[in-house]
Amino acid sequence: MNKTEKVQFVIDTLERLYPETPIPLDHKDPYTLLIAVLMSAQSTDERVNKITPLLFERADNPYDMVQLTVDEIREIIKPVGLSPMKSKGIFGLSQILIEKHNGEVPQSFEALEELPAVGHKTASVVMAQAFNIPAFPVDTHIHRLMFRWNLSNGKSVAQTEKDAKRLFPKELWNKLHLQIIYYGREYSPARGWKLENDIITSAIGRKTVIEEYQKKKKK
């Protein structure tokens, strides 16, 4: 397969496996999604979904959030990890949303990335999932799979995002990034990976990745 055929194979396979792509983080609006995505850094969606109801019961909008102290926020979100940084970020961005954006989550990468604790990936998720603006958030699953599939060199998340945007049609980005995440979790995890279960990597995978897997299996 040439690269164009490989890209189409990925698109077709993912669409067959995941025709529906529900957003993994529970939320009700752009603000609660933003907070949930921020909390998900170096944590799991499952863990975040257990904690956000406790936080949102107290504050599900920036006006109520700034009525809490940073320490109160930290105590609630402690189970998701990195709570000192995340609690400061949640409180700080809520203040800025009130002061600069009338309490609303802005619909631009630039404005989102100016918020405390909001990096490019978080901004991309919010733009894609809250506002349906084309973006290609790259998490660890996408970074790993684009390398395994020989569609990116794996040197940086920024390069992986550039390659994904160059290779895949823009109208598919928002759905495709979720499909790849679902696929990575189910068929191509970082740990306990079995090439024989990985439909896409088996068909189009990087030669060195496959050879390395086969060497480990022989040991």
Q: Which of 26, 45, 60, 139 is catalytic?
A: 139
Q: From the candidates 6, 86, 121, 198, which is the catalytic residue?
A: 121
The verdict on whether 121 is a catalytic residue reads yes
- pLDDT, one tens digit per residue, over 155-212 is 999 999 999 999 999 999 999 999 999 999 999 999 999 999 999 999 999 999 999 9
**Average per-residue pLDDT for the chain:** 97
- CA nearest neighbour of 73 among 198, 59, 61: 59
What tens digit of pLDDT does each residue of 91-140 get? 999 999 999 999 999 999 999 999 999 999 999 999 999 999 999 999 99
Question: pLDDT class for 216, splitting at 50, 70, 90?
Answer: confident
**pLDDT tens for each residue of 136-151:** 999 999 999 999 999 9
Whether 33 and 58 have beta carbons less than 8 Å apart is answered as no
| Residue 155 is a catalytic residue | no
pLDDT at 217: 84
Spatial contact of 196 and 39, defined as CB atoms under 8 Å apart: no
The predicted model gives 51-72 an average pLDDT of: 98
CA 202, distance to chain mean position in Å, is 24
Given phi > 0 = left and psi -120 to 50 = alpha, else beta, which region is 194?
beta
Write the DSSP string, 167-208. HS-GGGHHHHHHHHHHHHHHHS-SSS--GGG-HHHHHH--HH
Instruction: Delineate the domains of the chain, giving CATH numbers in brackets.
Output: 3-20+137-218 (1.10.1670.10), 30-129 (1.10.340.30)
| H-assigned helices in the chain | 3-17, 30-39, 45-58, 62-65, 70-77, 83-101, 109-113, 120-129, 140-148, 157-167, 173-187, 199-204, 207-218
